[in-house]
Amino acid sequence: MLLQVAFDKPEHLALLAQMKEFADIIEIGTPLLKRLGLSAITTARELCPEVMVLADTKTVDAGSRLIWYSAPAPQS
């Protein structure tokens, strides 16, 4: 059995160093990929070189949340 840990928010990346001792697979989730791009994968590989990194690149899940990540902030 393998343990896969998903990271969906930028603040989750701070936990990577702790998770590398327990996780067999680090998943960079769609929301995180949409927000940070390939740098999220690069960060995971640099911090956890011995752990498999999986990029979850779906575009249909969590549609409304992805719109908020992708849309520019409203101007006041």
**In the predicted structure, residue 71 carries a pLDDT above the cut 80:** no
Tell me whether residue 16 is in a domain: yes
Rounded CA-CA distance 45/26 in Å is 9
Position 76 pLDDT exceeds 70: no
In a domain, 51, yes or no: yes
DSSP classification of residue 17: H
| pLDDT, position 68 | 66
Domain that holds residue 42: 4-70
Does residue 75 lie within any of the structural domains? no
Answer yes or no: are the C-beta atoms of 51 and 25 closer than 8 Å: yes
Compute φ and ψ for 57, nearest 5 degrees: -105, 25
What is the structure's pLDDT at 34? Answer: 86
Q: Any idea what the Cα angle at residue 5 is, between residues 68 and 2, rounded to 5°? A: 150
pTM above 0.75, yes or no: no
Is 44 contained in some domain?
yes
Total length of the chain: 76
pLDDT in tens, 11-61: 989 999 898 889 999 999 988 998 899 999 999 999 999 999 999 987 666
- Count of structural domains within the chain: 1
